[in-house]
Structure 1
Amino acid sequence: MISAPPDRLRESAGIAPGPARLLVLLATFVCAACGLVYELELVALGGRLLGDPVTQTSVVLSVMVFAMGMGSLLAKRLTHRPATAFAIVESVLALVGGLSGLTLYACWVWLGHCRTVTVALAALIGVLIGAEIPLLMTLIQRIRRQDAGRAVADLFAADYVGALVGGLAFPFVLLPVFGQAAGALVAGAVNAVAGGVVVLWLFRDEPAPRTRLLLWTGCGLVLAALGGAAAGTSTVERAARQALYGDRVRFAEQSPHQEIVLTGAPTGAGLRLYLDGRLAVCGADEQSIRRALVQPAMTGTHGRVLVLGGGDGLTAREVLRHRGVRRVVAVDPDPALVRLARHDPAFTALNRRSLDDPRVRVKTADPLAWLRGAAAGPPFDVILADRSEPVGERGAGLWTEEFYGLAARLLAPGGRLAVYAGPLDGAGQRRFWGVEATLRSAALRTVPFAAPAGSAVCGDPVEQGFLLAAPAHGGALPRPPAAGRGLHRRHGAPAAATLLHPLE
């Protein structure tokens, strides 16, 4: 049922049907972009706080899609006053979605958990997003009646393109410029303006004057609430980081690639580096891990060394201990991590300013993409894959047959490839043997071994898994260090072999 003919809209809003339809489609575009930002916010932040990003992504997406269907059904009861209903829906959505990041942070800090809140927010945001299209369909038909199929096509085109823009804006604009929680607040403010204000102005004759005043006041209060929350964002984020990482957070930055958090004293005592909430470097243990990765592979010719993922400079430091090293190329995708490793006093004390050594050349590029374009360069005597377990899709390419096959093509005759495959606890053992199988599928011979690492300072001691590899036609592989132990398969699980002799 059409609540007002096109002529009345033209007279009351002072705008022709064509531009009016364009404004509604523009509101659809913006609201879709903001809705996807809220969705990505719940996935990214929930995965960081709760761990297990695959499960978190599945839960948020499943709940949200289901809730969108419920929201579409509920919207049928609101189509008799679509402009008023849409303004209310967008105001609530802007408030809930904009505050979603801070809400998760606050629940983690003061309640110690946020899984239930994450699911509740996904459901509520999904219901509100699902109500948008039926209401927008009613509004656009109210401007000018047209074939339903054409109207749906226009709306969904604007909706999907908006989702694309929101999906790209989240990692490339909102996160690096505003940060995670503040980025959602910005999206909420844009949502309130585009969804509420535009529709209220365009269809201002639908609600009664008193209702119209209340709706305008509500939009203003939402914007004020989001602005006030933005002013307190840094306080909540600091409290959340202290809850996650301890009291001595010295550096925190959300780069386009990951969140980087450095804790500990400026002297280097208690230094820990967290990447996307995962402990990547613990000053008390990192030397044993890097030496176990580097030392066996450096036996033999090692004039040219390639480090894949060496943005922290710690592996390069161990490489430079060996005489005869002429060139080290370190490839890491995140320039923010490289800057931290070069300029933070505690970090430079740990890596001994290895990235500033004249023999070291740093390439800020995705390692897999760099390997694809490096086939024509001179070969390397040693390649070190300095990567622990991948986080989400960004790191998945570093465990593929293509990755190791391309790396093997850059090896000089008699060259060696060494891989750090992470801790050997629980699921880590399955991942370790998966990496070993991938290396063999890339026509590489392997020597799996474990080395002790971990202390009371950095958590429970857990053995770390490493792999030495060389092309099938190459020479003999070196032995792991004396502290290591060889590993072999036994019913799919690693078992200890004889302790191997030390390397000189």
Structure 2
Amino acid sequence: MPARARLLVLLAAFVCAACGLVYELELVALGGYLLGDSVTQTSVVLSVMVFAMGLGSLLAKHFTRRAAVSFALVECALAVVGGLSVLLLYACWAWLGRYQVALIALTCLIGVLIGAEIPLLMTLIQRIRREEAGRAAADLFAADYVGALIGGLAFPFLLLPALGQADGALLTGAVNAVAGAAVVLWLFRDEPSPRARLLLWTGCGTVLAVLAVAGACTGAIERAARHALYGTTPRQAVQSRYGEIVLTGQARVPAQAGQPLRLYLSGRLAACGSDEYRYHEALVHPALAGVGDSRVLLLGGGDGLALREVLRHRKVTEVLVVTLDPAVPALARTDPALSALGEHSFADPRVRVVTADPLAWLREDSATERFDAVLADLPAPERASRSEYHAVEFYGLAAARLATAGRLAVPAPAGPGLWTVEAGLRAAGLFTVPFPVPGSGPACDPAGSGDAATVLLAARDLRPEPALAADAPPPRSFTAPELSAAATRLATGRPQPLPPPSTLLEPR
């Protein structure tokens, strides 16, 4: 019997470790989805979590006399806090705007509770059968580490795709509560008094009921938060592996005045139907004014809007779209308003779509295809999580795909960040010319499609001249003389020397 009881305690350690790592990954993933800076979010969560676990281990020393009851209380608290953490953080992000403070507070509390588990479990193991401390610690930590492995694998491959962020955390909390109750109310049922046992049963049942009610209300909470965030009820909301995709505005085409279609990716405006053409015209048309321009590589662009501008060029015979999240082009194909805004560009037989990370595809694809134009319709560098698409290595790999006299176009932010991007392109051996995106109208954020306020045009052999091709309708937002004049004005502010470029090892 002692051997069986000991095995069950180790099983509880296994389950609790798996749940603890799921909570940790939930916090990291949600921070990356909502704030975009996955490097900072991961660093904050991991460092605060490890510190708090050490603090929790120290605090647990004061509760080892009643280790079973203390362990049950810790697991109930962890089930509530960890299970509700995603909904609480999402609500803070949508309504309060103090997400970082809430993230640190929840991470610290969860870490303290996780850190208290090991000392209490060690005490319970020794209570079953006293043995050498090193052997007992080895068994306990082995169960803990294997459980962490299972939890770490279950999160991205099972919980996240099957249940999503909120429901996955709630289910993990329920498992946590049941594991704690099983250890105390069955194996160590003699420690608590009958009154304490009744309270523990009641507490565990209450925790499970709270998690069940939260699970039933998840949809309503998400809808209310989205309404507060976007100012209206989203017409479409898709949770993909890479973030939340939201469409607002009219489904009718064309939309009524004052209600343009808006596309949000992880809470950020990615396209606004009344103004998006300004950015996409600036990204595409000058790049396709070179020689040839029959084959185009579009990195990103899953919404089909840059693709629409590419297909207006009659010389284009093939467009290869490499996009990370398959849910975005799927929505661009099926949503009537977004599909109409993109002029059903994905239905064009000239288009081929590859689902892959653009940087990984450039690095790993063994094909020797060359393109007359390479367009990086990717987020402008604002945070560390976006810097890989604006590193010297990325530009070098993209430039290697250019045919003779081919052109590369990339977005850049306004201000000093523009010159960091230009420094990266020049470090990759490219000649560059920057020009601003024409100003947007009152319905949308500046720069129309959200992030980019400038476009950099680059070529390998000589400085590309801002121009427009004759095989496409003229852009609505600028003319060739206006483009050239704007590029000249912007170049006068170029610092000498340029700032250091961003690299994968030293993102800037």
When normalised by structure 1's length, the TM-score is 0.86
RMSD of aligned Cα (Å)? 2.5
Superposition deviation, residue 252 in structure 1? 1.0
The farther-off stretch of 161-170 and 214-223 is 161-170
Separation (CA, whole Å) in 2 of partners of 1:119 and 1:466:
37
1:227 pairs, out of 186, 199, 212, with 212
Residue 336 in 1 paired to residue 327 in 2?
A: yes
Query: Which 10-residue stretch deviates more, 385-394 or 323-332?
Result: 385-394
Q: In the alignment, which residue of structure 2 is the partner of 1:274?
A: 264
Name the structure 2 match of 1:478.
465
The equivalent residue for 1:370 is 361
Deviates more, 1:354-363 or 1:159-168: 159-168
> Which of the numbers 478, 490, 497 marks the counterpart of 2:495?
490
Is the counterpart of residue 465 in structure 1 residue 470 in structure 2? Answer: no
Residue 374 of structure 2 is aligned to residue 383 of structure 1: yes
Structure 1 residue 360 corresponds to structure 2 residue 360: no
One-letter amino acid matched to 1:289: Y
**Which runs of structure 2 are paired with 1:136-151 in the superposition (5 Å)?**
136-151=121-136
Secondary structure of the corresponding residue to residue 189 of structure 2: coil
- Residue 298 of structure 1: SS of its match in structure 2? helix
Aligned equivalents of 2:25, 2:353: Cα separation in 1 = 32
Q: Does 1:124 align with 2:114?
A: no
Tell me, which stretches of 5 or more residues in structure 1 are unaligned? 1-9, 11-15, 495-504
Q: Cα distance 1:204–1:177, how it changes in 2: closer, same or farther (>3 A)? A: same
Of the structure 1 ranges 289-298 and 43-52, higher mean CA displacement relative to structure 2 is found in: 43-52
Change (3 A) 1:161 1:271: farther
Offset, 1:46: 4.9
Task: Give how far 1:185 is off.
Answer: 0.8
| Residue of structure 2 equivalent to 1:6 | none
Give the SS at the match of 1:334. coil
Distance 1:26 1:390 in 2: 46
Is residue 323 from structure 1 mapped to residue 314 from structure 2 by the alignment? yes
Task: Kindly provide the CA deviation profile for residues 431-481 of structure 1, in whole angstroms up to 9, marking residues without a partner as x.
Answer: 33222222222222222222223332113468711111122xx25523165
1:192-207 → structure 2 map (5 Å cutoff): 192-207=177-192
Contact 1:88 1:196 in 2 (8 A): no
- Is 1:264–1:270's contact at 8 Å kept on the other side of the alignment? yes
Name which of structure 1's ranges 60-69 and 354-363 shifts more when overlaid on structure 2.
Answer: 60-69
Give the structure 2 partner of residue 314 of structure 1.
305
Structure 2 equivalent of residue 295 of structure 1: 285
Note if 1:33 corresponds to 2:18. yes
CA contact (8 A) 1:172 1:256 kept: no
Hey, what's the Cα distance between the residues in 2 that align with 1:492 and 1:233?
Answer: 53
The answer for the alignment partner of 2:5 in structure 1 is: 20
Q: How does 1:62-211 map to 2 (within 5 A)?
A: 62-108=47-93, 111=96, 113-211=98-196
Alignment partners' CA distance in 1, 2:210 and 2:100: 25
CA distance in 2, matches of 1:68, 1:120: 13
Once residues 266 and 228 of structure 2 are traced to their aligned partners in structure 1, the CA distance between those partners, rounded to angstroms, is 15
Q: How far apart, CA to CA, are the structure 2 residues paired with 1:482 and 1:443?
A: 27
Aligned residue in 2 for 1:404: 395
Question: What is aligned with 2:477?
Answer: none
Say if 1:43 and 1:60, in contact at 8 Å, map to a contact too.
Answer: yes
SS at match of 1:101: helix
Q: What's the counterpart of residue 5 of structure 1?
A: none
CA distance in 2: counterparts of 1:192 and 1:228, whole angstroms? 15
Moved more, 343-352 or 194-203: 194-203
How many angstroms apart in 2 are the aligned matches of 1:168 and 1:274? Answer: 29
Structure 1 residue 320: Cα displacement: 0.5
Go from structure 1 to structure 2 and tell me whether the alpha carbon gap of 1:179 and 1:413 turns closer, same or farther (over 3 Å shift). same
Q: Distance in 1 between matches of 2:94 and 2:352?
A: 41
Q: 3-state SS of the aligned residue for 1:81?
A: helix
Q: What amino acid maps onto 2:444 in structure 1?
A: C
What percentage of aligned pairs have identical amino acids? 63
Kept in 2: contact 1:24–1:199 (CA 8 A): no
Quickly say closer, same or farther: Cα 1:161–1:446, change in 2 above 3 A.
Answer: farther
The 8 Å contact of residues 431 and 463 in structure 2, kept in 1 or not, is answered as no
Q: Using a 3 Å threshold, how does the CA distance of structure 1 residues 118 and 378 change in structure 2: closer, same or farther?
A: closer
State the one-letter code of the partner of 2:458.
A
Relative to structure 1, is the Cα distance of residues 479 and 42 closer, same or farther in structure 2, using a 3 angstrom cutoff?
same
Moved more, 108-117 or 75-84: 108-117
Q: d(CA) in 2 for partners of 1:431 and 1:149?
A: 54
- Secondary structure, counterpart of 2:251 in structure 1: coil
Task: For 1:306 and 1:51, locate their aligned partners in 2 and report how far apart those are by CA, in whole Å.
Answer: 25
Q: Compared with structure 1, are the counterparts of its residues 369 and 214 closer, same or farther at alpha carbon in structure 2 (3 Å cutoff)?
A: same
1:436 aligns with 2:392: no
**Using a 3 Å threshold, how does the CA distance of structure 1 residues 197 and 253 change in structure 2: closer, same or farther?**
farther
The worse-fitting range, judged by mean Cα deviation, of 23-32 and 331-340 is 23-32
Letter in 1 for 2:464: L
| 1:248 paired residue number | 233
**CA positional deviation for 1:140:** 2.1
**Aligned mates of 2:223, 2:150 — CA distance in 1:** 30
Larger RCO, structure (CA 8 Å, separation 6 or more) = 2
Displacement of 1:27 in angstroms is 2.0
Structure 2 SS opposite 1:415: strand
What residue is the counterpart of 1:348 in the other structure?
A: 339
User: 1:383 Cα shift?
Assistant: 0.6
> Structure 1's 298 and 107: CA in aligned 2 closer, same or farther, altered over 3 A?
closer
Structure 1 pair 132/392, CA: closer, same or farther in 2 (3 Å)?
A: farther
2:456 maps to a residue whose letter is L
Contact 2:300 2:378 in 1 (8 A): yes
Task: Tell me the amino acid that sits aligned with residue 265 of structure 2.
Answer: L
* Aligned-partner residue type, residue 231 of structure 2: G
Q: Is the CA contact 1:31–1:194 (under 8 Å) kept in the aligned structure 2?
A: yes
Q: Which amino acid letter does the alignment assign opposite residue 303 of structure 2?
A: D
Distance 1:403 1:346 in 2: 33
* Gap runs ≥5 in structure 2: 468-479, 500-508
- For these two proteins, the number of residue pairs brought into alignment is 472
How far apart, in 2, do the equivalents of 1:389 and 1:186 lie?
Answer: 37
Cα gap change, 1:400/1:285 in structure 2, threshold over 3 Å: closer, same or farther? same
Contact between 2:423 and 2:498, CA under 8 Å: does it hold in 1? Answer: no
Deviations 1:271-326 (A, max 9, x none): 11111111111112210101101111101211110000121111111000011111
| Residues in 2 aligned to 1:384 and 1:218: alpha-carbon distance in whole angstroms | 58
TM norm structure 2: 0.86
